[in-house]
Amino acid sequence: MIKPHGSDKLNPLFVSDETKRKKLITEAESLPSIVISSAAAANAVMLGSGYFNPLTGYMNAADALSTAEKMHTTGGLFFPVPILNMVHDTAAISGAKRIALRDPNVDGNPVLAIQDVEAIEEITAEQKELITKQVFGTLDSEHPGVVTFNALGNFLVSGPISVLNLSYFETDFPGTFRTAYRIREEIAAAGWEKVVAFQTRNPMHRAHEELCKMAKEAVDADGILIHMLLGKLKKGDIPADVRDASIRKMVEIYFPANTVLITGYGFDMLYAGPKEAALHAVFRQNCGCTHLIVGRDHAGVGSYYGPFDAQAIFEKDVPDDALEIEIFKADHTAYSKKLNKVVMMSRVENHGKEDFVFLSGTKVREMLTAGEPLPPEFARPEVAEILGKHYRSQA
């Protein structure tokens, strides 16, 4: 199986030894504590799950700036975005060397992790602006990732962490949430050597379904990892439970048995386009995938990024030796009326726009809310029915 990023063995930060974990939970109750942001909590879950291997905790200011500008830490480790615990107020942990991090997303704010504090640093407005610009490619206050990042505070609390639970993801998505180490175990148990990962924060329509099948065939993969984001999204995105149900129904009916793992990961969407695509590659390598599908507008939002910027970053900015995972580059896919199948639009000849089945997101929502069937060339009817129930319940 493909090696994890940056080490020979995956090193998840979740404390799996029950005796040790209980001891740390007890210790945490006597430590200075702070309720962290949802973004920092998601980082803790990803660190605990092994997705951010080989990091041992939150980055300091020097590593944050180096990672944002150069995509590597001061020690030379390739990492596409800073992994931070940013807070507004440090009064509750001032002078502490060991603190408890409390979960903002679970009632009662239980302890999520214990952190050994190496430094508490206040970054300047100029430094925060630099990180914002480098990660998101814009300072626009309308960009959802920029809005979230700029609301996190200006103090960086850096140092290694021990993760004591995986937040709400295990309880809310028991059949879907997976750690990187669990996915590696499942891939090994299936006997798969080549695995194609498909990233999604949306339901999967016909084009997505066929893209996964195209990629699997093109690289001669043994299986497909459908890996959906389960954390915080922007307003208007489809809730994770609805996405999960629709994807499961699609795979059940339209994919051969034992060729797909349907899983999810506990992270809040960044909407960082190219930089987030590179991060996706890092943590898909960590869960054992050999290939990642990177398509049009991957991890993008609005018109902040070019349609293929997320592919270009692997050609221009990611060093050749940084990652072992390979990128499967995909163009926009759509149903061809001429060929009666889903195709990559750039790879077919003698086609005009009128030869493809297109529906805007707005039109899809309108039709589903009104109870109108979507064209079968665009969406499987079983998937459309699940999505329609959601939209009608919101009307």
Checking if the pLDDT of 238 tops 90, the result is no
A 10 A CB-CB count for 104 gives 15
What is the SS3 assignment for 105-117?
Answer: CCCCCCEEEEEEC
Instruction: Average the pLDDT over 222-241 and give the result.
Output: 90
For residue 102, what are the contacts with CB-CB under 8 A and spacing of at least 6? 33, 34, 35, 36, 109, 110, 111, 112
**DSSP at 214:** H
Q: What is the Cα–Cα distance from 267 to 229, expressed in whole angstroms?
A: 6
Q: What is the Cα–Cα distance from 209 to 255, expressed in whole angstroms?
A: 9
154 is catalytic: no
Checking if the pLDDT of 359 tops 90, the result is no
Assess if CATH 3.10.400.10 describes domain 18-167.
yes
Could you tell me whether strands 326-329 and 291-294 are parallel, antiparallel, or unpaired per DSSP bridges?
parallel
Least confident of 96-110, 153-167, 331-345: 331-345
Token readout for 206 is 């016909």
- Rounded to the nearest 5 percent, the helix, strand and coil shares of the chain are 40, 20, 45
Could you tell me whether strands 111-116 and 195-200 are parallel, antiparallel, or unpaired per DSSP bridges?
unpaired
Where exactly are the structural domains of the chain? 18-167, 178-265+273-394
- Whether 292 contacts 325, CB under 8 Å: yes
178 is catalytic: no
> Which position among 201, 206, 243, 296 bears the catalytic label?
201
Q: What is the Cα–Cα distance from 276 to 289, expressed in whole angstroms?
A: 17
In this prediction, residue 353 has a pLDDT band, given cuts at 50, 70 and 90, of: confident
Give pLDDT tens digits for 302-335: 999 999 999 999 999 999 999 999 999 998 888 8
For residue 323, what are the contacts with CB-CB under 8 A and spacing of at least 6? 5, 78, 281, 282, 285
Checking if the pLDDT of 193 tops 90, the result is yes
> Which position among 11, 21, 202, 248 bears the catalytic label?
202
Token readout for 314 is 């692997």
Share above pLDDT 90 across residues of the chain, in percent, rounded to a whole number: 88
Q: What is the Cα–Cα distance from 25 to 110, expressed in whole angstroms?
A: 10
- Whether 181 contacts 191, CB under 8 Å: no
Q: What is the Cα–Cα distance from 382 to 83, expressed in whole angstroms?
A: 39
Residue 243 vs residues 7, 327, 335: alpha-carbon distances, Å: 33, 24, 22
Q: What is the Cα–Cα distance from 55 to 77, expressed in whole angstroms?
A: 9
- Whether 343 contacts 336, CB under 8 Å: yes
Helix ranges, 255-344 (H): 274-286, 309-316
Provide the pLDDT for residue 168: 96
Residue 172: its H or E element: helix 169-172
- Whether 111 contacts 21, CB under 8 Å: no
A 10 A CB-CB count for 151 gives 11
Bridge partners (DSSP) listed for residue 72: 78
Share above pLDDT 70 across residues of the chain, in percent, rounded to a whole number: 100
In this prediction, residue 232 has a pLDDT band, given cuts at 50, 70 and 90, of: confident
Q: Quote the mean pLDDT of the chain.
A: 95
pLDDT, greater one: 45 or 368: 45
Give pLDDT tens digits for 39-80: 999 999 999 999 999 999 999 999 999 999 999 999 999 999
Backbone angles phi, psi at 61, to 5 degrees: -65, -40
- Whether 227 contacts 327, CB under 8 Å: no
Residue 188 vs residues 87, 195, 203, 289, 330: alpha-carbon distances, Å: 40, 11, 27, 11, 27
Q: What is the Cα–Cα distance from 299 to 206, expressed in whole angstroms?
A: 19
- Whether 313 contacts 219, CB under 8 Å: no
CATH number of 178-265+273-394: 3.40.50.620
Write the single-letter amino acid at 334.
A
Checking if the pLDDT of 361 tops 80, the result is no
- Whether 48 contacts 74, CB under 8 Å: no
What does the chain come to in residues? 395
